[in-house]
Chains A and B, each alone.
Chain A
Amino acid sequence: MRAAHRPEAPDRLLLMGNPNVGKSAVFSRLTGADVIASNYPGTTVGFAEGKLMLQGQGCLVIDVPGIYTLEPVSRAEDVAVEMLRKGGVVINVVDATNLERNLNLTLQLLSRNVPMVVALNMWDETEEHGIFIDVEKLQEQLGVPVVPTCAISGEGMKELLDAVRRARPGELQYDSETKWELIGGIVERVQRVEHRHPTLGQTFSHATVHPAVGPLIALAILFVSFEVVRIVGESLIGYVADPFFDRFWAPVVEKLSATLGGGGFLHALLIGDLVAGEIDMGASFGLLTTALYVPLAQVLPYVFSFYIVLCILEDSGYLPRLGVLVDNLMHRLGLHGLSIVPLMLGLGCAVPGMLALRVLETRKERFIAATLLGICVPCMAQTAMIVGLLGKYGAGGLLPVFGTLFVLLIVMGMILKRFTRGITPEIIVDIPPYRIPYWKSLVKKLWMRMRGFVKEALPFVFLGVLLINVLYATHVIDVLGNLFKPVMTRLLGLPKEAVAPLIIGFLRKDVAVGALKPLGLSMRQLIVACVVLTVYFPCAATFIVMLRELGWKDMLKASAIMLITALAVGTLMNLILTALRVGAAV
């Protein structure tokens, strides 16, 4: 069944091609819509839609997940085949530097008899690889329009749209026995390859997966990344955010505080409590003080610096190589190497991390990775707050928290691997060539992620601060505090008031960590509280995504694991730290 096509003005454009050929880049070029494009296979796991004006008519553009074949093997392929069935003009995006392999899908598309054009993407890279393709001849061979493009810089996009008008169904039929001979023949006729000496990028590419040199490079890259995140984050707070709040915002709220008479319900809500007679942006807990200061001055700088580094790592193409290096380690946790990508995304925010789990093939992997993400991977917002809280104690304060989380990651992974049924398939991954990130797309991606953070986080932060005020004002905290007192004090060694941050933690982790500040905890208590806050449950946004991705049955299991782990680890840490007399005095 095929829909009727009007070749002169299609109402649907489908972007289809192998993984990591730049479909998302073409998509955002055509529609101006915002989608994340990176340099590793599987960036697009669902599909994105955008609008485009074509000859004065609105046209739907669909960014289909990357596939190698039209025979449905994975979820991505199911989605793609379904899209194709609904009709439209196909723009087959092809990696010009890897013509032979890409043509496999092209041939399958041609045999489906849908109107299509071919975009020879990454055209700019062909010469560097010593590849010369005769576009005219390829067009002749395939029987559909072929346009060289470079989506990342926008070259060839106009020509591509012109070609859409000339899109026509292919006539090429083949039988699967001789498919590769046919492809080989086409490639031989249209492509000339000159031998090039390995470029610097290729040499480096080999070095980064070298069994001995690779891990050293990985450690160096991770160390530099960490330092850049830290230095940029610290500088932004120290030189931009803090001075701004001190000089411009503090006088405003001070005046407001005086106007409100320094007390009363409204004062408590907007300004919060005065600490030693003064407003403390971090600890007062009012809507105009802490609710603004925490997300904008404490968290945002680190989110920004983290995403700069992550975007560069993504676009350069380093992540799949890191996946190969850690494959062995990850298999001990019941995962394979590529799971490192969702885990690293989770260091920024657990929500995109959870979504990226879709690239994993089996239920076992998805369950393990989701649980680990929920338990041991603190998001950047939380990390920033923990650093703000414990940073003054130096490594002695931070190492117990992050060290414990790391050890927990390994131990929990090993346990989950044993007790989760199913298989972990072996890694099989296409490693893209290194690319120097294109700064315009880098800036755009960074901007999208920052905007996403502000839009998603701010409402929850306000809600969290509001909730904590309401809980205190209505004395619900006292009731709950007394109820959970045995657990809090006996097992975790925390005061009963610490129940408030734990409640807020269901909503948002950064506010929760911030809510520890006014409690005046000792270093030991802070360490235990930070770990428990990370482990015990994901924040509301993450919970919703997790539920959707795992289903309620697995989610229930994961939740139980988290709560039990949090209690066990918190108690254990409390005992160990007390025995070691760590941070006994404030």
Chain B
Amino acid sequence: MLRRLDSIGLRPGKTVRKVSSQFMGGPVTVLIDGRQVAMGRGIARRVQVRILPSAPGGAR
């Protein structure tokens, strides 16, 4: 899974911004480096983020 996340540009230390999440456990869309990436809820749940002090957004 790490490799798949790595391939879409998500890796430790990256700043991500959540764009949306679909109802009923649907996929989550986030913004990484200005790019939209969608992932299933199960994957998203396992990504740990730390909320950044500046504005709504998070980082891991």
A→B interface (CB under 8 Å): 68-69, 71, 73, 97-98, 100-101, 104, 129, 180, 205-206, 209-211, 214, 320, 323-325, 327-328, 336-337, 425-431, 433
Complex: A129 Cα to B31 Cα, angstroms: 14
Q: Could you tell me if B33 and A428 are in contact, using CB atoms closer than 8 angstroms?
A: no
Chain A contacts for B49, CB-based, 8 A: none
The 8 closest A-B pairs by CB, nearest first: A426-B40, A68-B7, A431-B36, A328-B26, A101-B9, A324-B38, A428-B39, A209-B29
Chain B contacts for A180, CB-based, 8 A: 11
> Which of B3, B9, B21 is in CB contact (< 8 Å) with A73?
B3
Complex: A427 Cα to B29 Cα, angstroms: 11
Q: Could you tell me if B26 and A327 are in contact, using CB atoms closer than 8 angstroms?
A: yes
Residue of B nearest to A338 (CB): B38
Interface: B8 (CB within 8 A): yes
Chain B contacts for A129, CB-based, 8 A: 34
Name the interface residues of B1-44: CB closer than 8 Å to any CB of A: 3-9, 11, 19-27, 29, 33-43
Residue of B nearest to A41 (CB): B8
Complex: A126 Cα to B22 Cα, angstroms: 30
- The tally of CB-CB contacts under 8 A between chains A and B is 98
Residue of B nearest to A206 (CB): B19
Return 13 A-B CB contacts under 8 Å, by A number: A69-B3, A101-B9, A209-B20, A209-B36, A214-B22, A325-B22, A328-B23, A328-B24, A337-B27, A428-B5, A428-B39, A429-B37, A431-B35
Complex: A98 Cα to B8 Cα, angstroms: 11
Chain A contacts for B25, CB-based, 8 A: 328
> Which of A68, A104, A211, A425 is in CB contact (< 8 Å) with B26?
A211
Complex: A548 Cα to B36 Cα, angstroms: 35
With A180-B11, A209-B36, A328-B25 known to touch, is A428 a contact of B4 (CB < 8 Å)?
yes
Complex: A61 Cα to B22 Cα, angstroms: 42
Chain B contacts for A100, CB-based, 8 A: 9, 33
Complex: A265 Cα to B43 Cα, angstroms: 67
Q: Could you tell me if A428 and B20 are in contact, using CB atoms closer than 8 angstroms?
A: no
With A324-B27, A325-B22, A328-B26 known to touch, is A98 a contact of B33 (CB < 8 Å)?
yes
Chain B contacts for A337, CB-based, 8 A: 27, 38
Chain A contacts for B36, CB-based, 8 A: 205-206, 209, 430-431, 433
Residue of A nearest to B14 (CB): A180
Complex: A324 Cα to B35 Cα, angstroms: 15
Residue of A nearest to B13 (CB): A180
A173 nearest CB across to chain B (Å): 20
With A211-B26, A426-B39, A428-B43 known to touch, is A69 a contact of B7 (CB < 8 Å)?
yes
B7 nearest CB across to chain A (Å): 3
With A206-B19, A327-B27, A328-B24 known to touch, is A427 a contact of B38 (CB < 8 Å)?
yes
> Which of A327, A426, A431 is in CB contact (< 8 Å) with B22?
A327
Chain B contacts for A104, CB-based, 8 A: 6-7
Q: Could you tell me if A427 and B27 are in contact, using CB atoms closer than 8 angstroms?
A: yes
> Which of B3, B39, B41, B42 is in CB contact (< 8 Å) with A71?
B3
Chain A contacts for B5, CB-based, 8 A: 428
Complex: A433 Cα to B37 Cα, angstroms: 10
Residue of A nearest to B35 (CB): A98
> Which of A68, A71, A209 is in CB contact (< 8 Å) with B38?
A209
Complex: A279 Cα to B12 Cα, angstroms: 73
Residue of A nearest to B21 (CB): A211
Complex: A430 Cα to B37 Cα, angstroms: 5
Complex: A336 Cα to B3 Cα, angstroms: 19
Residue of B nearest to A431 (CB): B36
Indicate the member of A180, A426, A428, A430 with the most B CB atoms within 10 Å: A428
List 13 additional A-B contacts (Cβ < 8 Å) besides A327-B38, A328-B27.
A98-B34, A98-B35, A129-B34, A211-B26, A324-B27, A324-B29, A327-B40, A328-B24, A336-B40, A427-B38, A428-B5, A429-B8, A431-B36
Complex: A97 Cα to B7 Cα, angstroms: 16
Complex: A101 Cα to B7 Cα, angstroms: 8
B59 nearest CB across to chain A (Å): 15
Q: Could you tell me if A426 and B34 are in contact, using CB atoms closer than 8 angstroms?
A: no
Residue of A nearest to B34 (CB): A129
B6 nearest CB across to chain A (Å): 8
